[in-house]
Amino acid sequence: MADLQTLEIPIKGMDCAECTQHVQHAISKLDGVKSVDVLLGTEKAIIQLDPDKVDMPAIRKAVANAGEYSVPETAPLPQTQPAGNFNRQLMTLLAIVFGVVLSIVIAGEWLGMFKFLENFVPFPIGVLIVIAGGWPIYRNVIRATLKRRIISHTLMTVGVIAALVVGEWVTAAIVVIFMRVGEYVENFTTESARRAVKELTAIAPQTARVERDNSEVEIRVVEVKVGEIVVVRPGERIPVDGEVASGQATIDQASITGESMPIEVAKGGHVFAATIAKLGSLRVKTLRVGADTTFGRVVKMVEEAEANRADVQRLADKFSAYYLPIVAGIAALTFLISRNPLSTAAVLVVACSCSFALATPVAMLASIGGSAKRGLLIKGGKYLETLARADIVLVDKTGTLTLGQPQITDIVPLNGLSHDDILTLAASAERYSEHPLAEAVRVAARAQNLKLDEPQNFESIPGMGVRANINGSPVAIGNRRLISTTDSLAVVKQLEEQGKTLLFLSHNNQLAGILAASDTLRPEVPAAIAELRSLGIKKIELLTGDNERTASALAEKLGVEYHANLLPENKIEIVKDYQAKGRVVVMIGDGVNDAPALAQSDVGMAMGAAGTDIAIEAAHIALMREDWTLVPQAFRIARRTMGIVKMNLAFTALYNVVGITLAAFGILPPVLAAAAQSLPDLGILSNSARLLRQK
């Protein structure tokens, strides 16, 4: 068997969750397809397949046979039309049209105009009107029936036939009108949910100005090569991720971080695609292009977030599959008891299955798309649902609670070495380490203009420190787990009680010195932790590799519990222990050293993930800027989203129960039943749209 490939293809024509089920079922039946996710929000399918067994023509044919769906030859370009006013204008227009049509129907029924119309127009002509008006719907119903599937329009079509059987072609025609209106409402509801995601993708620049052959050439972004110089003028969006080669500018990074406050960049600084150079111009050396940029990765993950469906959405999808047969059974029972075909038709017409299927994804799409614009990258409704019921938060220290920019505050030479000797050995050994404490050591050495030596046999030990040979002598620098020491030194206790992190230096296998580093607590952390407690998160724990005294000092300051002297694997074990006890665990880290614990937790939340591949990949929720106010905000968004989902489902369930009951007892005629079945979608849309406006 050939290696499996992953294929992404656009799908046109899907307007409700039922459509995605049809397309997914059709593609999954193809020989060679191992898995398929059809995403309503981004109108595409992600297919894992064996290329030796299935090809694009077969996939196109399967999609076309599933209904009124197609696979475009090329993906459509993103549209840049603002959503807010567009949505409001369409909602207003739709409400006016719906109100006018409903008023005419009610007035016509009350004044007897429909009876006059039935007498004036011959019945065969009326039947032709009904067939012509609803033919696109009937065609889908016929296709589904031939494949032994019942869709939402199947029941309504049976209702239309029932009205024709008893000779009321006008009633059947009005039902058809509202079927078409309802179809438009479903399209509009789905498109509105997609709009938040489309707005995000639309801001990506399509062209770039590149220096080639001593001149500036404007080309498509996808044609830019890594290493080329891109010229960015004031007011333009930066088209690539890169390093500033020359120039200076004020950059608006809101598209990546959600932060409205611009930053200054100059030579050597890094910039991201889709951000705006508001003041100044830049020459940027390209490091990443297109889907490989931070913005490209954000967009891709937001688009694919729908695949990580919440449990409540899976439940709703399963219910939708059983709902239509249940309604058909109620309609049959109604006819057996009442012998009234119009009441039976009303039951079939009023039932709205699409509203059940739309109740969850519409809210999730709105929430995930809106959150991405605020600097919160959420990888799926599954994690929103889990975060809403989380009851314990575990937090890393360095780079998460602190700014991640520690400074060396104290150097204690031992065994005859000088201050500069200790710093030179430490910085040389740490020369290629990526840990924040290693950078602090190197910064201190640079400040003293010390000449560093090249380390040989460099070895980084996660959670401990580093080893290397410096000028032929073994050197190690790290914590107590790497270098045996004693608490008998008064200076050790004194520095640790000040909340400082200690690095012990070993030279020729003997303790040669101590370096103390201090990191600054993020100023917004205490207020954010207090807000988490106000949200009901009572269990907040600090996880750190620091010693007991250092961890205790910070934990006491924040009023949280702590675990000290931890290796990365120890953090994973703590997460697993809580999960085994039935706790829902949120782990917050910087996404680098904490990647395994983030992945293990129920919801892993990475701090300051912009530009960091590991953080974006490992976490389930990525905070694109280093701002702790986003943490309680994420909890609030999750709880509000789930609250709206539950409201949508409850409203839909109650509405359908009442509607079917009234129809079964003959109180709701088919005409009004047809009008009523369109309303739940509008209710779901207006309720879910609140997630786009939340602050």
Domain ranges of the chain: 5-65, 225-288, 391-402+521-601, 407-518
Question: Residue 392: is its pLDDT beyond 90?
Answer: yes
More confident: 540 or 164: 540
Q: How confident is the model at residue 57 (pLDDT cuts 50, 70, 90)?
A: confident
- Reply yes or no on domain 391-402+521-601 having CATH 3.40.50.1000: yes
Q: How confident is the model at residue 114 (pLDDT cuts 50, 70, 90)?
A: low
Q: Which residue has the tokens 């999960």?
A: 579
DSSP state of 672: H
Where is average pLDDT lowest: 520-524, 568-572, 683-687?
Answer: 683-687
In this structure, which long-range contacts are made by residues 489-496, counting pairs with CB atoms below 8 Å and at least 24 apart in sequence? 489/514, 491/412, 493/549, 495/410, 496/547, 496/549, 496/550, 496/553
Residues in a beta bridge with 242: 271, 286
More confident: 116 or 84: 116
For the record, the structure tokens of 113 come out as: 């105009």
Residues 6+ apart with CB under 8 A from 121: 129, 169
Q: Which residue has the tokens 């938060």?
A: 393
Pairing of strands 376-378, 621-623: antiparallel
Question: Residue 12: is its pLDDT beyond 60?
Answer: yes
More confident: 182 or 393: 393
Closest CA to 544 of 481, 484, 463, 443: 463
Residues 6+ apart with CB under 8 A from 353: 18, 152, 320, 323, 324, 327
Mean pLDDT across the stretch 513-540? 92
Q: Residue 638 half-sphere exposure, CB side, CA atoms within 13 Å?
A: 27
Mean pLDDT across the stretch 299-324? 72
Question: Residue 115: is its pLDDT beyond 60?
Answer: yes
Q: Residue 529 half-sphere exposure, CB side, CA atoms within 13 Å?
A: 22
**Cα 416 to the center of its chain, rounded Å:** 57
Neighbours of 268 (CB within 10 A): 9
SS (H, E, C) 389-417: CCCEEEEEHHHHHECCCCEEEEEEECCCC
Q: How confident is the model at residue 85 (pLDDT cuts 50, 70, 90)?
A: very low
**391-402+521-601 and 407-518 agree in CATH topology:** no
Q: Which helix H or strand E contains 252, and what residues bound it? A: strand 241-252
Where is average pLDDT lowest: 345-354, 509-518, 538-547?
Answer: 345-354
Residues 225-288, CATH architecture: Distorted Sandwich (2.70)
Active site residue 396: yes
For the record, the structure tokens of 475 come out as: 């050197």
Q: How confident is the model at residue 202 (pLDDT cuts 50, 70, 90)?
A: confident
For the record, the structure tokens of 334 come out as: 């109604």
Where is average pLDDT lowest: 90-94, 167-171, 678-682?
Answer: 90-94
Mean pLDDT across the stretch 22-34? 87
Task: Identify the active-site residue in 396, 590, 602, 627.
Answer: 396
pLDDT tens for residues 415-444? 888 999 999 999 999 998 888 889 999 999
Question: Residue 369: is its pLDDT beyond 70?
Answer: yes
Q: Indicate the average pLDDT of the chain.
A: 82
pLDDT at 194: 64
Q: How confident is the model at residue 381 (pLDDT cuts 50, 70, 90)?
A: confident
More confident: 692 or 263: 263
Residues 6+ apart with CB under 8 A from 209: 216, 217, 218, 230, 231, 232, 233
pLDDT tens for residues 217-249? 999 988 999 999 999 999 889 999 999 999 998
More confident: 676 or 589: 589
Where is average pLDDT lowest: 310-324, 457-471, 550-564, 648-662?
Answer: 310-324
Residues 6+ apart with CB under 8 A from 320: 17, 18, 353, 356, 357
Helix 353-372 to helix 630-664 angle, to the nearest 10 degrees? 170
pLDDT at 83: 43
How far is the C-alpha of 466 from the C-alpha of 475, rounded, in Å?
A: 9
H helices present in 389-433, as ranges:
419-429
Mean pLDDT across the stretch 638-660? 91
Q: Which helix H or strand E contains 286, and what residues bound it? A: strand 276-288
More confident: 100 or 315: 315
CATH class of the domain whose range is 5-65: alpha beta
Q: Residue 567 half-sphere exposure, CB side, CA atoms within 13 Å?
A: 10
Q: How confident is the model at residue 53 (pLDDT cuts 50, 70, 90)?
A: confident
How far is the C-alpha of 620 from the C-alpha of 54, rounded, in Å?
A: 33
Where is average pLDDT lowest: 76-85, 256-265, 336-345, 592-601?
Answer: 76-85
SS (H, E, C) 348-404: HHHCCHHHHHHHHHHHHHHHHHHHHCCCEEECCHHHHHHHHCCCEEEEEHHHHHECC
Where is average pLDDT lowest: 300-304, 540-544, 638-642?
Answer: 300-304
Mean pLDDT across the stretch 63-72? 83
- Reply yes or no on domain 407-518 having CATH 3.40.50.720: no
CB–CB of 360/648 below 8 Å? yes
Q: How confident is the model at residue 647 (pLDDT cuts 50, 70, 90)?
A: very high
Share of the chain above pLDDT 70, in %: 85
How far is the C-alpha of 163 from the C-alpha of 330, rounded, in Å?
A: 18
Buried/exposed 15-44: b ≥16 CB within 10 Å, e otherwise: bbbbbbbbbbebbeebebbeebbbbbbbbb
Neighbours of 222 (CB within 10 A): 11
How far is the C-alpha of 30 from the C-alpha of 158, rounded, in Å?
A: 31
